[in-house]
Amino acid sequence: MLSRILAALAVVALLVLTILYASGKGWLGSDWGAGEVTGLETPAQIVTARDTSQRTAAADLGVRKPKRILFGDLHVHSTYSIDAFAMALPLAGGEGAYPVSDACDFARHCAALDFWSINDHAMGITAEGWRDTIESIRQCNAVASDPERADSVAFLGWEWTQMGTRADNHYGHKNVIFRDLTDDAIPARPIAAAPPPDMLEIQPDSDVNPPAVVMGLVPFATRDPIYFDWARFMQTVASVPSCPADQPVRSLPNDCREAVATPGELFAKLDEWGHESMVIPHGTTWGFYTPLGSAWDKQLSSAQHDPKRQQLVEVFSGHGNSEEFRSWQEVRLDREGPETCPEPTADYLPSCWQAGEIIHARCESAGESETECDARAERARALYVEGNVSGFLTVPGARAADWLDAGQCRDCFQPSFNYRPKSSVQYMMALRNFDEAETSGAPDRFRFGFMASSDNHSARPGTGYKEVRRTAFTESRFEHLGESFLGGKDEREPGPEAVPFSAEAMASAGVSFFGLRETERGGSFFLNGGLIAAHSEGRSRGAIWDAMGRREVYGTSGPRILLWFDLLNAPGSRAQEVPMGGEVGMEESPVFRVRAVGSFEQQPGCPTHTSEMLAAERLARLCKGECYHPSDTRRPISRIEIIRIRPQAEQDEPIETLIEDPWKSFACDPDPGGCTVHFADEDFTGEGRDVLYYARAIETPSLAVNAGGLRCERDEQGTCVRTRPCIGVDESDDCLAETEERAWSSPIFVDYRESEPDPEAGQLEVVDR
């Protein structure tokens, strides 16, 4: 009898293991796919009304022959991205699949965008997923009856998502976007980022994708069949073989994963294909994944920068602002020795320093001597630096409140989390390449145009049109991933000593990818996101692409601010103006004009025509009842600021002396009709060096989601003594705080030349407005 019972139990156990294995391998799940575009074309009269409104505003400011200003979002993820899929799960407060088709309908009808692009992480896109993405983008464009006057244009692309383990092997994230959609203009497969050798790759048995039996438990433990789909997705992604190395791109199988380790290798692959494409760096200061001390110096070289493709940079997104440089350091880099922890300054508290403060306080509470506690604090700071982006885990049991505002830029506009100032856009623009000064064709400087986008991970392009729906329109759901089976909460008891960070030890304690990064504090820095605005000759794909190629674009923090920035006295221009993004050589003092008009105040709900273009249930799920719905009232522009950056003239010239922010500031009358300012740089000729200038147009204060970041309570000396992070709050709480929404123009590059330049020698087109 006993043997029969044991045999029966063995059969049952084998059956259970088989079911769990099948579940974990994804055999019980379904593919979410790219979905179907269901929305109709925006009525022509609506599109015409938008254009007419712009022309009226431009005419009121005296803009002659204005181009259309078209608003877009070139940074959007669907659930083909691994992290987006994870945030679509119930454990993160998600609502299931958000395919590429959702992005199309959201862009057209919720956000009323003129253009957008899909940019899923290449590492998660299979051959089938790539084919389906292409087809969905084609479907989206086919909705427009006239491509030359399209109501909305969709571009195809992916994200090259490189994450280094140290500052010297980190290059960051870049979006790759293609102009055209025909088969002969699209690569056969996306190109992913190869991880550094010391970083774990995504494999079926890695800490990111647990063993099949473990993965198979989740649907049964949660009693939710959606996790069968998650298992299928992860196993499908992990099963894609790596492409053979050192083979031409057209000789590779279509169903392998192609990956390269550096930007230079990415540019080389794109050159092999020969398709018209653009590469846009983004999230450059976001310390969630960017190693301590990361700097852009190493990317200013002919090996790692392609000025033909890498023409724009994202200054702002739903992950925060990456514009501003600060001279403080998050880590002290010593060329002759190890990295060390810098002391705090009046405007910055390094996270490594706060690690020492936490341990020191615990040590004192344990009754240890001051000498012992000082020694433990010093060791804690060193261990934090060694732990890098996971340094917070060297302090066992530390909670978000313990860190106060450590690691954050206190005086930046809506900064990204754990700010990395030497990866800021201002820092990039002040650099000069001296190492290749004698090398023909080598880039001497970064000459980026400025743009912004959302980096939305729920297929919702352009969510910045209203400051609403924090948990749906931002990535604040990241905080849940850190405590889920995808992250694993640090359950250690607070101890009086720091411990070295070990990925293996954390994995054995159930802490993996999302748990190895500061998802909890970082959740308070996710915003509704920005927009790119293009001064375009028309509404066609080609016209928009050409505007981006001219760098005649700007970024906004979400609102549709109208902005013009022009050089008025370029040599040989015959009174024609050089617009933002332009590049000239001159000797006399440059004279500029900035004109700006604030965005429309928004009405609640959605316009009437939207419900006629999109089914009610789809409108409710995607738009959450709130669409771009402008009133007739514009917000006033409160001031216009001019930033002047003088790129390095000598090797090792201190960057902080070259960035003047603001160089000039002009108060504007509270007139909804807009603001115009003129200025000149009287020092240009005397200084005799290259300069770039850009403008910020700033609206009067308004409320925005997560604009307060950690919402510090400060003492009389300005020290943060307590935080109120937007963590674990009700989803109806948008954590609103006052901010000043803004637009950033692309720079105008004025190079000092003693003699008049040849007008045929590679200058950008001087355009008549």
- Which position has the higher pLDDT, 336 or 85? 85
pLDDT of residue 712: 93
| Mean pLDDT calculated for residue range 633-657 | 96
Q: From the CA atom positions of the chain, what is the Rg in Å?
A: 26
HSE-CB at 230 with a 13 A cutoff on CA atoms is 31
- Distance CA(260)–CA(262), nearest Å, equals 6
Question: Judging by beta carbons within 10 Å of its beta carbon (0-12, 13-18, 19+), is residue 171 exposed, middle or buried?
Answer: buried
pLDDT digits (tens, 9 = 90+) for 287-324: 999 999 999 999 999 999 999 999 999 999 999 999 99
Residue tagged 């981006």 (tokens): 548
pLDDT digits (tens, 9 = 90+) for 176-193: 999 999 999 999 999 999
User: Computed from CA positions of residues 176, 178, 181, 183, in that sequence, does the dihedral angle turn out positive or negative?
Assistant: negative
pLDDT digits (tens, 9 = 90+) for 195-242: 988 775 433 334 445 677 777 788 888 888 998 999 999 999 999 999
| Mean pLDDT calculated for residue range 48-74 | 95
HSE-CB at 304 with a 13 A cutoff on CA atoms is 18
Tell me the pLDDT band of 768, cut-offs 50, 70 and 90.
very low
pLDDT of residue 503: 80
pLDDT of residue 762: 43
| Mean pLDDT calculated for residue range 336-352 | 91
Q: Percent of the chain having pLDDT more than 90?
A: 76
Closest CA to 75 of 462, 417, 448, 425: 462
- Which position has the higher pLDDT, 671 or 545? 545
- Distance CA(564)–CA(671), nearest Å, equals 17
Residue tagged 């936490």 (tokens): 358
Contact 373, 380 (CB under 8 A): no
HSE-CB at 721 with a 13 A cutoff on CA atoms is 7
CA 413 to chain CA centroid, nearest Å: 15
Q: Which DSSP string corresponds to 583-625? A: EEEESSPPEEEEEEEPPEEEPSS--HHHHHHS-HHHHHHHHTT
pLDDT of residue 220: 84
Tell if the pTM clears 0.85, that is, is over it.
yes
Residue 693 has pLDDT above 70, yes or no: yes
What does DSSP assign to residue 77?
Answer: -
Tell me the pLDDT band of 3, cut-offs 50, 70 and 90.
confident
Tell me the pLDDT band of 488, cut-offs 50, 70 and 90.
low
Where is 634: in which H helix or E strand? strand 630-634
Cis peptide before 350 (omega within 30 of 0): no
Residue 355 has pLDDT above 50, yes or no: yes
pLDDT of residue 205: 38
SS3 label, residue 428: helix
pLDDT of residue 486: 65
Going along 91-134, which residue ranges are E strands?
A: 115-117
- Distance CA(528)–CA(471), nearest Å, equals 10
Residue tagged 């980022």 (tokens): 193
- Which position has the higher pLDDT, 411 or 514? 411
SS3 label, residue 321: strand
pLDDT of residue 767: 38
pLDDT of residue 201: 40
pLDDT of residue 353: 98
| Mean pLDDT calculated for residue range 329-354 | 91
Kindly report the backbone phi and psi dihedral angles of residue 489, in degrees, each rounded to the nearest multiple of 5, phi listed first: -70, 140
Per-residue exposure over 115-137, b if at least 16 CB sit within 10 Å of its own CB, e if not: bbbbbbbbbbbbbebbebbbebb
- Distance CA(98)–CA(456), nearest Å, equals 11
Q: How many residues does the chain have?
A: 769
Helix pair 351-365, 370-387: axis angle to 10 deg: 150
User: Computed from CA positions of residues 504, 505, 506, 508, in that sequence, does the dihedral angle turn out positive or negative?
Assistant: positive
Contact 470, 524 (CB under 8 A): no
Q: Percent of the chain having pLDDT more than 70?
A: 95
- Distance CA(452)–CA(553), nearest Å, equals 10
- Distance CA(452)–CA(74), nearest Å, equals 8
Distance of CA 454 to CAs 76, 460, 558, 565, Å?
7, 9, 8, 24
- Distance CA(746)–CA(729), nearest Å, equals 38
| Amino acid of residue 467 | E
HSE-CB at 26 with a 13 A cutoff on CA atoms is 17
Going along 92-228, which residue ranges are E strands?
A: 115-117, 153-161, 173-178, 191-193
Contact 478, 93 (CB under 8 A): no
HSE-CB at 745 with a 13 A cutoff on CA atoms is 31
Contact 65, 537 (CB under 8 A): no
Closest CA to 42 of 94, 108, 95, 113: 108
Residue 478 has pLDDT above 80, yes or no: no
Q: Which DSSP string corresponds to 519-567? A: HHHHGGG--S--EEEEEESSSSHHHHHHHHHTT-EEEESSS--EEEEEE
CA 604 to chain CA centroid, nearest Å: 28
Q: What is the mean pLDDT of the chain?
A: 91
pLDDT digits (tens, 9 = 90+) for 676-691: 999 999 999 999 999 9
- Distance CA(363)–CA(357), nearest Å, equals 10
Both structure tokens of 740: 């000043």
Tell me the pLDDT band of 756, cut-offs 50, 70 and 90.
low
